[in-house]
């Protein structure tokens, strides 16, 4: 038996940092959105657990296929919780850039929970999988359900929202990454940079006014990351000049995305505005996160 799962990435439409918690995490309020860009994971029955790089995808030098990878962490937690003796050979077709703020690692971990739940016939509900995912990463519960959702707590408390509909994105990531810990530490020293807007965007989405999306998008971490990596600010200014309706950083960065209803504009931004050596891609919003697909669909 083979199970294939598409693991979609995400962008943040808002990210409000509300303060530091007693457990060391930060309290956040966010609207998160799945995107069409995805990794693909294939699960096959085996005696033990093995993570294998699929040569159809990209393998960055820093991509670990060891115990630190979210895929193996998720698989081992499932084995521990269930006591199953079954194993799996897991093939990773890596397409999302790592350490970007696009949720690639979380999406892979979420897809592992979903895929092994089916392969091993564990019969966990989606809600139960989300609870398990919350012990592995703050973004992982969202990556299971995907679509458009409000996230609170440290990001693990998810409330579904109506899908915002089709928007086109041009996404850019510089060659170097940035430490999430460094960004949050720097934010603490600066204090809050703006008022929370998540509630305003949630109201707009629930009222069916998704066309006003760009008016309520913001990211408290953006100014911090931009101060460390000023080339991101320069790119943002160029993208806005070229006609993007909104340009914002996702998560703690360093990926930046331009949002537009115009597909041709998104294609033009990727073609004409990608700095030398940067990764870039056109994408669309997506109505769901993890999705079972066939081997034939994966080959397309």
The answer to whether residue 220 is catalytic is no
- Kindly name the residue from 70, 108, 139, 220 that is annotated as catalytic: 139
- Identify the sign of the CA torsion 149, 155, 156, 157: negative
The structure tokens listed for 134 are 């919350």
Q: Is 123 helix (H, G, I), strand (E, B) or coil?
A: coil
Burial (CB count within 10 angstroms: exposed 0-12, middle 13-18, buried 19+), residue 176:
exposed
CA gap 167, 173 in Å, rounded: 19
The answer to whether residue 10 is catalytic is yes
- Kindly name the residue from 10, 94, 173, 246 that is annotated as catalytic: 10
CA gap 242, 121 in Å, rounded: 50
Using alpha carbons, list the distances in angstroms from residue 297 to 4, 55, 179, 230, 279.
Answer: 10, 17, 35, 40, 25
Active site amino acids: 10, 139
């Amino acid at each position: 038996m083979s199970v294939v799962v598409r693991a979609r990435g995400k962008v943040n439409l808002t990210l409000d940092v509300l303060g530091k918690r007693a457990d060391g995490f930060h309290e956040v309020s966010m609207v998160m959105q799945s995107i069409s860009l995805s990794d693909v994971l294939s699960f096959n029955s085996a005696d033990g657990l093995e993570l294998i790089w699929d040569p159809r995808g990209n393998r960055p030098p820093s991509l670990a296929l060891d115990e630190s990878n979210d895929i193996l962490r998720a698989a081992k937690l499932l084995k521990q919780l269930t006591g199953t003796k079954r194993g799996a050979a897991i093939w990773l077709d890596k397409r999302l850039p790592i350490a970007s703020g696009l949720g690639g690692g979380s999406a892979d971990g979420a897809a592992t929970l979903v895929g092994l739940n089916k392969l091993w016939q564990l019969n966990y509900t989606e809600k139960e999988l989300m609870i398990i995912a919350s012990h592995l990463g703050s973004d992982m519960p969202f990556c299971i359900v995907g679509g458009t959702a409000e996230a609170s707590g440290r990001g693990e408390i998810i409330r579904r929202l109506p899908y915002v509909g089709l928007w086109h994105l041009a996404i850019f990531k510089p060659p170097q990454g940035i430490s999430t810990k460094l960004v949050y530490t720097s934010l603490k020293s600066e204090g809050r940079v703006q008022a929370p807007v998540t509630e305003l965007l949630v109201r707009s989405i629930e009222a069916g006014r998704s066309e006003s999306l760009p008016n309520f998008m913001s990211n408290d971490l953006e100014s911090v990351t931009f101060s460390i990596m000023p080339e991101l600010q320069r790119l943002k200014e160029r993208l806005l000049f070229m006609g993007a309706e909104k340009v914002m950083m996702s998560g703690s960065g360093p990926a930046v995305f331009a949002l537009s209803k115009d597909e041709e504009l998104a294609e033009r931004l990727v073609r004409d505005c990608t700095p030398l050596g940067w990764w870039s891609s056109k994408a669309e919003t997506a109505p769901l996160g993890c999705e079972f697909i066939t081997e034939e669909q994966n080959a397309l």
